[in-house]
Amino acid sequence: MPCNWKVPSTRHLYRLWNSQVKTSELRFFWFTEELLRESFRQAGKKVKDRLEWLRRHMAVPYNWSLCDKVAKLRLGPGDVILE
């Protein structure tokens, strides 16, 4: 049975993607801002290290893509996520 989830407040979701494959920017494997901040805290200042940290903690296989970019999605109050 389908499930709808209404966003209670503004939230940002992020996703790793390969900039050489433009259609991959808005696909699956989105994660929360809290996980992104944790990558900053644990991986340090280098973007490459942060991306690597996110890959390891989200179990993204190396053979999927380069994952050299992070996409950001803004969800506002009242937006609905369909499952």
pLDDT of 54 > 60? The answer is yes
Confidence band (pLDDT; 50, 70, 90) for 52? confident
Termini Cα distance of the chain: 9
**Residue indicated by tokens 């996409």:** 71
Single-letter amino acid, residue 31: F
Q: What's the half-sphere exposure (Cβ side, CA atoms, 13 Å) at 50?
A: 17
Residue 83 · residue 3 · CB < 8 Å: yes
Q: Which of 9-13, 16-20, 21-25 has the lowest mean pLDDT?
A: 21-25
pLDDT at residue 64, as a whole number: 63
